[in-house]
Structure 1
Amino acid sequence: MPARPARIAPFWLLTAGLAAAMASHTATAWELQGTKTLVAHTRDQQRLTLGTVEFTPRPDGRIAFAVHMDHAKFTDHFLSMKEFKCVEGGGEVSCHVPYPYPNPGTVTPTDLGWLEHHLLFLFKLPKEFGAKLWNGLYYRLERTDAGLVGRPQSIDLNLISAPPAQTDRPPYRPALRDDVAAGVRWIDRIAIE
């Protein structure tokens, strides 16, 4: 019996399937909306859940955010007469430094500066006494299909020891930050997923 020729699906059926696949991909695309998990990825391949970030779209087109660190995952360190919440590993102590001044607390899909300022850290060796504010870390966020990923940049936290002159703009502009090579710091990247 001769083989039957393969049937080709009608064009409309193919385009309908493609449209459905695209709609499902769009529906699952990562957005700056809702509660997301804040995760530290370390150079020794650990994944540490640090807390959450809640995104709330506003009528003006900006997106409000609130960072909620899970302090149960941190230990208290008293450095330079101040309490810091820190995580330790890889021969390094990394301490969260909450941004201390009033700010808009909003972002846009293309401007994540204020969120980055809420994810400041300092690092030190476990045997070192006190906080060396020039050992600051700024995680510059980039958007991916799976969320936001921040790579470390070095900063001097002494810059925010006094209120900035302009409170409506994030003070750590690119000229005040230097890239850190991959694997140099224990928290190699921060992700919001």
Structure 2
Amino acid sequence: MKLISLATLLLALTGFSDSVTSAQTNNPLSGEKRIILKGNKGEQLDIGSVTFVPGAKGIHYTLTIDHGHFTDYFLSMKEMKCLEGPELWCHLPYPYEQPRTVSAEDFSWLAHDLLFMYKKKGEFGANFWNGIYYEMSLDNGRIAGVAQAVDLNQLAAPPDDLTTLPFGEFERTDIEPQPRFLPFVEIR
């Protein structure tokens, strides 16, 4: 019977650990991923991260927005964090309790945490009917999404059932991405 040296054992374990880490990194629904908003002219803004943790009751996520790219605005008696470009793109996270889970087929709750409102810089106040919801899906090992229109006024009061999505498929409308500032999201 041969004895394996401690160095050989450590190398084997390190290689195994690297392959596990690599597999987790390649899994779009495990570990920390960057959130990139993308424009029509090649603009890319890294606005934060989302960390996915697979568990017994699904894949839970934690969202961290880096407000370093955002500018503070006071619109319609509410302080908002906005990205500046041809339009203001103001982040309005979902304000009520929710499960913060995703699956390979459903990113709806994550999309509710990445809600935005857009407006022209010169317009007065906030236009909550100009809401943006990113419809997301898996695409070549990453999560990709395109902007859809929603009326954020629907969030003025909490839903009767907090487990029901306020913006289901019938509350969202496809929009032409060309005139919008950041109509695409990529999570990688």
**What range is the shorter-chain TM-score in?**
0.7 to 0.9
Distance 1:179 1:48 in 2: 22
Q: 2:183 is paired with a residue of what secondary structure? A: strand
Distance 2:63 2:124 in 1: 28
Which residue does the alignment assign to 1:12?
none
Give the residue type in structure 1 aligned to 2:82: C
Which residue does the alignment assign to 2:61?
65
Distance 1:144 1:29 in 2: 13
Note if contact 2:105-2:137 (Cα within 8 Å) is conserved in structure 1. no
Note if contact 1:54-1:67 (Cα within 8 Å) is conserved in structure 2. yes
What is the CA-CA distance between 1:182 and the residue it aligns to? 2.7
Which residue does the alignment assign to 2:39?
42
Over 6 Å off, 4+ runs: none
Note if contact 2:51-2:62 (Cα within 8 Å) is conserved in structure 1. yes
Deviations 1:142-193 (A, max 9, x none): 1112311110100000001100111112110000100011312110201111
Q: In the alignment, does 2:34 pair up with 1:32?
A: no
Which residue does the alignment assign to 2:173?
178
Q: In the alignment, does 2:78 pair up with 1:82?
A: yes
What is the CA-CA distance between 1:88 and the residue it aligns to? 1.1
Which residue does the alignment assign to 1:19?
none
Which residue does the alignment assign to 2:7?
none
Distance 1:167 1:173 in 2: 13
Note if contact 1:42-1:186 (Cα within 8 Å) is conserved in structure 2. yes
Identity %: 40
Q: In the alignment, does 2:109 pair up with 1:109?
A: no
Which residue does the alignment assign to 2:48?
51
Matches within 5 A, 1:103-182: 103-182=98-177
Distance 1:80 1:136 in 2: 15
Note if contact 1:29-1:145 (Cα within 8 Å) is conserved in structure 2. no
Gaps of 5+ in 2: 1-18
Distance 1:163 1:92 in 2: 28
Which residue does the alignment assign to 1:94?
89
What is the CA-CA distance between 1:30 and the residue it aligns to? 3.5
Aligned residues: 167
Note if contact 1:30-1:145 (Cα within 8 Å) is conserved in structure 2. no
TM-score (normalised: structure 2): 0.85
Which residue does the alignment assign to 1:3?
none
Gaps of 5+ in 1: 1-22
Structural RMSD (CA): 1.6
TM-score (normalised: structure 1): 0.82
Distance 2:166 2:69 in 1: 28
Q: 2:32 is paired with a residue of what secondary structure? A: strand
**Structure whose alpha-carbon radius of gyration is higher:** 1
Q: 1:38 is paired with a residue of what secondary structure? A: strand
Give the residue type in structure 1 aligned to 2:116: F
Distance 1:178 1:191 in 2: 20
